Amino acid sequence: MTIEYIITEHIQRAVSELYQTEIGIDNIVIQETRKEFEGQVTVVTFPFTRISKKTPEQTGVELGEYLKEHITEVVEFNVIKGFLNLSIADSYWIDQLLNNVLSQGFGQFPSNGKRVMVEYSSPNTNKPLHLGHVRNNLLGYSVAAILTANGYEVIKVNLVNDRGIHICKSMLAWQLFGNGETPESSGLKGDHLVGKYYVIFDQEYKKQIADLIQAGETEENAKKNAVLIKMAQQMLLDWEAGNVEIMALWSMMNTWVYAGFEQTYNMLGVDFAKYYYESDTYLLGKDIIDEGLEKGVFFKKEDGSVWIDLTEDGLDLKLVLRADGTSVYITQDLGTAQLKFDDFNVDKSIYVVGNEQDYHFKVLFLILQKLGKSWADGLYHLSYGMVDLPSGKMKSREGTVVDADELMDDMIRTAQERTEELGKVDGFSDDEKADLYNMIGLGALKFFLLKVEPKKRLLFDPNESIDFQGHTGPFIQYTHARICSVLAKANYSSKLTLSHSPELTMLEKELIVNLSKYPGFIAAAAKEYSPAHIANYIFELAKLFNKFYHEESILKAEDLNVKNFRLDLAAATASIINKGMALLGIRVPERM
């Protein structure tokens, strides 16, 4: 039972006894005491003044006296303005450390019996992954890990966009200009090879447009009538008709792409329980259209197209089926949402998709609610801001992207240079070195992307490579390695028993207070689907530990009991760093 809980209960009793009024939990605000004041736990007394009819100070003193008398852990209190600061006994904090923080399951909530799906990554098969995908992948992976820690059963899925006109463009360009080039013959990663032809298509297409304009066509007509775009459109029709030759080309190029993606995902450290493919799902959703028409949620126009009127909800009319009976984007998303639910019977379904699709998901969820789907309330769009460069927006077609593979390679190389400069890898084997550079490079990248609130957009300057000092992944990794080093020197392996409770220093107490807050951050991160909370918490923890480490010696502590206690404290810190970073998909080294 946490001290906050005990205090809350006693405040209810105190208010009832002192002022003869019952108050709800909502009125009780408990927070951590600010560093400049004495105490660890603070109660805000303003909400009670209306009941007590006294000043905030008087109310605070009365409550403080009551709490001190009735709760053994409350040893002292002071009131400053409307804030009642409580000092909690050292014994409580020591008990927290030894029996809570250091226990096996700390930070892992028991199963809540709920199942949640997290869809993320969602690549197109016509181009390699870029920085935007990296943010998406890291967010998806991390949110999945956080939900798991909160007791959910999590199913990670990837919905691959493997069909459509854009896919045909790279296929066509390869057919026309590829000369049979393969990943083997070119030495290119499969996804990069295909991406190369997507760019070539665009270049050739632009040339044709320019030629047509030269010949007197309007720009609009030139775009419509260029031979290449006509051919691509024909190819899409052939694909939909199941043309054998086209299907063979499609599946061959897909195989290349998937091999490339697999490599990138491995490097990023992300994984999926299931892949959905749009080539399988693009025809879904028609039965939902029928259902909606039956229920009167949708209506049909004279031309046969099907619509929904969302004007009462402040939105517009939305087409859900074309006049010719074929699907649009939202049709298949309606169908896919149903499919996911049918496949896994999930309670919640999270879509990790960029904020340019905010409107789309708003509409999608609203339609499903109107259709009366019982699971519609569990749908959530985890929207994140786009990553842009100093030069502006990234465009795959124009080749102005920060490529995911290159970026990771750069990060790892920088980690290597930095580490070698510091001369810290004596006694490492080549494999260990490679693993370490990978850990640090990717740790820096992941922390950089995850420490910012998802919905904020991110500016990424490739020339100013990511820092390795300060508010960074490597700073935290370093702290961890440092603790491991101390523990190794002391031959620490598991929790030490203390002969008696030591008197805590300010910093020790602060550290324990901090450590015991970990589960609260896990819960908050899940509630808001924001790994940034954990990233910033772990950073604060690492910083605090470094301060403690600097000011109070562990191995040279004044007596054995204090030394053992500090070893436990250090071990607990390392453990939380490790757990928290794991939720971000970041590994921490024992030496670096």
CB 128 within 8 A of CB 405: yes
Given the complex with RNA, which of 218 and 485 has the nearer CB atom?
485
Given the complex with RNA, which of 186 and 237 has the nearer CB atom?
237
Given the complex with RNA, which of 418 and 579 has the nearer CB atom?
418
In the complex, least distance from residue 537 CB atom to RNA, rounded to whole angstroms = 9
Overall size of the chain counted in residues: 592
In the complex, least distance from residue 412 CB atom to RNA, rounded to whole angstroms = 12
Grouping H, G, I as helix, E, B as strand and the rest as coil, residue 404 is helix
Given the complex with RNA, which of 381 and 579 has the nearer CB atom?
381
Q: In sequence order, what DSSP letters do the residues of 178-243 get, joined into one string?
A: -TT--HHHH---HHHHHHHHHHHHHHHHHHHHHHHHHTT--HHHHHHH-HHHHHHHHHHHHHHHT-
In the complex, least distance from residue 181 CB atom to RNA, rounded to whole angstroms = 26
Grouping H, G, I as helix, E, B as strand and the rest as coil, residue 375 is coil
Given the complex with RNA, which of 10 and 424 has the nearer CB atom?
424
Given the complex with RNA, which of 6 and 188 has the nearer CB atom?
6
Cα radius of gyration rounded to whole Å, the chain: 29
In the complex, least distance from residue 365 CB atom to RNA, rounded to whole angstroms = 13
Q: Please state the φ and ψ torsions of residue 564, each to the nearest 5 degrees.
A: -60, -40
Given the complex with RNA, which of 184 and 559 has the nearer CB atom?
559
In the complex, least distance from residue 329 CB atom to RNA, rounded to whole angstroms = 3
Given the complex with RNA, which of 166 and 188 has the nearer CB atom?
166
Question: Kind of pairing, strands 153-160 and 115-119?
Answer: parallel
In the complex, least distance from residue 504 CB atom to RNA, rounded to whole angstroms = 16
d(CA 228, CA 222): 11
In the complex, least distance from residue 418 CB atom to RNA, rounded to whole angstroms = 5
Q: What angle do CA 549, 554, 557 make, to 5 degrees?
A: 130
Q: In sequence order, what are the beta bridge partners of 74?
A: 88
d(CA 567, CA 496): 8
**196 class by beta-carbon count within 10 Å (0-12 exposed, 13-18 middle, 19+ buried):** buried
d(CA 499, CA 456): 51
CB 210 within 8 A of CB 186: no
In the complex, least distance from residue 552 CB atom to RNA, rounded to whole angstroms = 6
Given the complex with RNA, which of 31 and 186 has the nearer CB atom?
31
d(CA 518, CA 91): 20
In the complex, least distance from residue 496 CB atom to RNA, rounded to whole angstroms = 14
